Amino acid sequence: MTTVDEHDLIFAGVALQARLVRDREVSPRELVALHLERIARLDPVLNAFRVVLADRAMAEAAHVERRLAAGETMPLAGVPIAVKDDTDVAGVSSMCGTGIDTGPASTDSAAVRRLRAAGAVIVGKTHLPEFGAYPMCESPTWGVTRNPWHPHRTAGGSSGGSAAAVAAGMVPGALGTDGGGSIRIPAACCGLVGLKGQRGWISTKQSPERAYRFHGLHHIGTLARSVADAALLHDAMTGPEPDDEIPFPPPVPPLTDAVSRAPRPLRIAMSFKPVVPVPVSEEVRRPVLETAELLRSLGHEVVELDPRYPPAAVLSVFALMMNGLAHEIDRLPTPELLERRIRAEGRTARLVPDWLARRALAARDRLSERGLRPVAGCDMLMTPVLGKPPVPVGHLEGLGPGRALARTLAFMPFTPPQNFTGQPAMSIPAGISPDGLPEAVHLVGRPHDGSTLVSLAAQLESARPWAHRQPPAARYRAPA
């Protein structure tokens, strides 16, 4: 076993763990076993995992050892990774937060296949709300996923299980998906880096029996403790696949190349304008203002400018989301087993015909350009991630679709536009509040410019380190 302290190893992060494996300081089986033990200890409290693949993970770790012995070089050699339960892993059902089992996936999704090729070991699949429809990771079937910083607050969603697992040190990194902020929101709630790249950089292709139909709103991305780790995981999954839903955009240099490169002086638009008219609390405004001062001290210009959210664009996002939800529900053998609120949403979703979704899709580029025109002269947009701090567990309990939507929009009014425009965006930590909850800011890059986004985020991390912060998860007992 390595001479590195076990606790330090758990929180070493993706890149350092992979390096320790390559340097023979720790074996893949030792590393995976250490994280499986931590999952066994903490997951009964936090409820991050839908299924833990312990035996398979140990077998995969042994396979990685044989690849290393044969001289293969792998950027993620032996690193344990969790996968959100809407993304296919061969031989495991993708429950998508529901209680409906449509059978095990016949193959890995493209993203998971690429992670394995890079040497990652898949240790399990993580919770989400039904179909990722809400930004809180709670469902009637699988219960509540707890925030490792405060077990009575939401871990965010919909990639809440992945975020809780990384924040608590159950894995050093995880795959998440983002259809309107579902990586960035839980990253903000759990004190992590949440990276959603440019639309099309990571293929959303699933096993042959499954296909996403969310019209390009759905992105696959990463959750990790540092910018470098998030970029490394993202790079491992990047690349086109035959018959992709979204054509692969022009190739870009690896995002990891940008981590150690300081950005040139940038012009950054700071905005507190939400996509819908909801209050924005002082608790989430303050970290953005403090980050603006830090950016100015680093030589950047920060100006207050708002993007425009045309009503037609907001309606288009709604139409695409609802039409996609209707198609997801229609593929289920027993939709009557869905929670009551999702069944009601499904009835509304079926009112959005395919032709209307196609029309919204055709107008996407034009509406995106119009909305971004006010900030077109800037290199970056900075906003809060959330409209308020992480809400208590049960925030939507007992609410019908209308009231739940109102509360949802009040919580997440800044992240959906980037799924429509396709821009790269990320949530980065910005400190700890007096209540002991993580604070965050939201950085949005220009279309296709992930390098500047990652470079700026890494510069902020260097000036205001955060990866060393750890939640008190190991001391948790089950909440009353």
Kindly list the catalytic residues.
Answer: 84, 158, 182
Q: What does the alpha-carbon distance between residue 441 and residue 426 come to, in Å, rounded to a whole number?
A: 8
Amino acid at 479: P
Residue 445 phi/psi, 5-degree rounding, is -85, 165
DSSP, residue by residue, 51-116: EE-HHHHHHHHHHHHHHHHTT---TTTT-EEEEETTS--BTSB--TTSS----BBSS--HHHHHHH
Strand partners, 432: 438
Question: What amino acid occupies position 109?
Answer: S
Angle at 14 between CA 11 and CA 15, to 5 degrees: 115
Tokens of 170: 């159950």
What ranges make up the beta strands (E) of 87-216?
121-126, 138-139, 143-144, 146-147, 150-154, 173-178, 193-196
Quote the CA–CA distance of 287 and 429 in Å, as a whole number: 9
At 342, the amino acid letter reads I
